[in-house]
Chains A and B, each alone.
Chain A
Amino acid sequence: MMTKVKYKLGVDIGGTFTDFFLVSNTGESVMHKTLSTPEDSSIGFITGLKELAEKCSLSDDEFIQSIDTIVHGTTVATNTLLTLQGAKTALITTKGLRDALEMRRGIREEQYNNHYQNVTPLVPRSLRFTLDERIDSDGNVVTSINVDELELLVEKINTENVESIAICFMNSYLNNTHEKQVAIYLRKHLENVFITASCEVLPSIRFYERVSTTVVNAYIGVDVDSYIASLQEKLKKLNFKGGFSIMQSNGGVVSPEVVRKIPAVTVLSGPAAAPIAGAYYAKMLGYDNCITMDMGGTSFDASMVVDGQCITSTDGDINRYRIALPSLDIITIGAGGGSIGWVDSGGLLQMGPKSAGSLPGPVCYNRDGKEPACTDADLILGYLDPNFFAGGKYTLNKDKALDQLNKTLATPLNLTDIETAAGMYRVINMNMAQGVRQVSVERGYDPREFLMIVAGGAGPIHAGEICRELEIPMFVVPNAAPIFCATGMLLGDLKHDYVRSYIKRFSQIDKKTFLALYDDMIQESMDTLSSEGIEKENTQLVPTLDLRYVGQYHEVPLQVDMDNVSSFDLDVIKNAFHKEHNRQFGYSLKEEGTELEIINVHLRAIGITEKPNSFAKMDDAEPVKNPDFALKSKRIAYIPELDDVQEISVFDGDLLTGKYSIEGPAIIEQINTTIFLGKTYDCDTGVGGSFIVYNRDHYPNGFDINQKKLGK
Chain B
Amino acid sequence: MVKIDKILLSIFQRTFKSITDEMSISLTKTTRSPILCEAKDFVTGLYDAKGNMLEQTENLPILSFSLGPVCRVILDQYGEDISPGDVIIHNDVFSMGNQNNDVAIFKPIFHEDTLIGWAAAKGHQADIGGAVQGGYNPNATEVWQEAIRIPAVKLYEKGKLREDVWNLIFANIRLTMVQEDIKAQIGACTLGERRLQTLVEKYSIETFEAHKQELFSATEKMMCSEIAEIPNGVYHGESMVFYDGKHKGSEFTVRATVTVKDEAITFDFSKSSEQTKGFVNGTYTSTCSAITLSFLQMVNPNIPHNEGMIKPLTYIVPEGIILNASYPAATTFGNHLCPQVADSIAIALSEAIPDKVTAGWNHLLCSLFTGNHPKTNEKYVDICFLGLKGGSGALKNSDGYDHIGMIDASGGILDQDYEMFEQQSPHMLLYHEYLQDSGGPGKWRGGLGVKTKIKLGGDDTTMVVFGDGDVKTPYGLFGGKTSVLNKISLTLPDGSEKIPMSKDMIEGIPSGTIYDQIAGGGGGYGIPIEREKDSILKDVKNEVVSKNQAKEVYGINIEDNT
Contacts and interface: CB of A to CB of B under 8 A. Distances in A.
8 contacts: A105-B417, A106-B404, A207-B419, A344-B302, A438-B21, A438-B22, A444-B29, A554-B37
Interface string A103-129: 101111111111111100000111000
Contact of B7 (A349, A438, A587): A349
Most buried by B among A107, A112, A587: A112
A350 interface: yes
Interface in A417-456: 419, 422-423, 426-427, 430-431, 434, 437-438, 441-442, 444
A554 B38 contact: yes
A113 B397 CA distance: 13
Interface of B: 6-7, 9-11, 13-15, 18, 21-22, 25-26, 29-30, 32, 34, 37-38, 60-61, 180, 184, 187, 218-222, 225-226, 293, 296-297, 300-304, 308, 358, 376, 385, 389, 392, 395, 397-399, 401-405, 409-415, 417-420, 422-423, 428-434, 450, 453, 541-544
Contact of A111 (B302, B409, B541): B409
Interface string A89-114: 00000001111101101111111111
Given A111-B410, A113-B301, A586-B30, A346 B432 contact: no
Interface string A123-146: 011100000000011000000000
B432 A99 contact: yes
B11 A427 contact: yes
Contacts of A586: 29-30, 184, 187
A114 B360 CA distance: 12
A205 interface: yes
Nearest to B403: A106
A113 B296 CA distance: 9
Contact of A430 (B14, B385, B543): B14
A345 B404 contact: no
Contacts of B414: 105-107
Contact of B6 (A413, A437, A442): A413
A538 B496 CA distance: 66
Contact of B389 (A106, A207, A553): A106
Contacts of A2: none
Contact of B221 (A100, A347, A553): A347
B411 A96 contact: no
Given A103-B415, A115-B398, A434-B18, 7 more contacts: A96-B431, A103-B402, A112-B410, A346-B218, A346-B308, A415-B6, A437-B18
B541 A126 contact: yes
Given A96-B433, A110-B301, A137 B415 contact: no
B30 A112 contact: no
A289 interface: no
Nearest to B539: A125
Q: From B7, B187, B432, name the one whose CB has the most chain A CB atoms within 10 angstroms.
A: B7
Contacts of B404: 106, 108
Nearest to B425: A137
A427 B428 contact: no
B204 to A, nearest CB: 15
Contacts of A118: 401-402
B15 to A, nearest CB: 7
A100 B38 contact: no
Interface SS of A by simple majority: loop
A125 B6 contact: no
Nearest to B396: A115
A170 interface: yes
**Most chain-A CB neighbours within 10 Å: which of B18, B308, B409, B411?**
B411
B7 A426 contact: yes
A423 B18 contact: no
A110 B219 CA distance: 20
Contact of B358 (A114, A349, A414): A114
A422 B7 contact: yes
A171 interface: yes
Nearest to B303: A346
Contacts of B18: 434, 437-438
A434 B60 CA distance: 22
A629 interface: no
A345 B428 CA distance: 52
B37 A125 contact: no
B525 to A, nearest CB: 11
Given A171-B422, A344-B302, A430 B218 contact: no
A350 B14 CA distance: 10
A206 B417 contact: yes
B248 to A, nearest CB: 32
Given A97-B433, A108-B404, A554-B38, A345 B221 contact: yes
A437 B22 CA distance: 9
A112 B433 contact: no
B419 A553 contact: no
B398 A114 contact: yes
A601 B405 CA distance: 34
Nearest to B61: A111
Contacts of A115: 395, 397-398
A642 interface: no
A157 interface: no
A170 B420 CA distance: 11
A348 interface: yes
Nearest first, the 3 closest Cβ-Cβ pairs linking A and B are: A108-B411, A346-B218, A423-B7
A309 interface: no
A707 interface: no
Contacts of A111: 60-61, 409-412
A98 B398 contact: no
A503 B13 contact: no
A551 B31 CA distance: 13
B417 A137 contact: no
Interface in A170-227: 170-171, 173, 205-209
Interface in A304-353: 344-350
Interface string A394-415: 0000000000000000000111
Given A106-B411, A108-B404, A348-B9, A114 B395 contact: yes
Contacts of A125: 434, 542-544
B18 to A, nearest CB: 4
Contact of A347 (B218, B397, B410, B434): B218
Contacts of B222: 344-346
B225 A170 contact: no
A136 B418 CA distance: 11
Contacts of B415: 103, 105-106
Given A114-B398, A442-B25, A587-B30, A208 B433 contact: no
A116 B401 CA distance: 8
A524 to B, nearest CB: 23
A136 B389 CA distance: 25
Contacts of B385: 106
Contact of A98 (B308, B422, B433): B433
Contact of B392 (A96, A114, A345): A114
B6 to A, nearest CB: 6
Contact of B434 (A99, A105, A113, A170): A99
Contact of B542 (A112, A124, A208): A124
Contacts of B411: 106-109, 111
A225 to B, nearest CB: 28
B371 to A, nearest CB: 16
Contacts of B6: 347-349, 413-415, 423
Nearest to A594: B32
A553 B402 contact: no
Contacts of A438: 18, 21-22, 25
B14 A126 contact: no
A171 B6 CA distance: 57
Contacts of A345: 221-222, 225-226, 300
Nearest to B357: A114
Contacts of A426: 7, 10-11
A418 B304 CA distance: 27
A361 B219 CA distance: 31
A111 B409 CA distance: 7
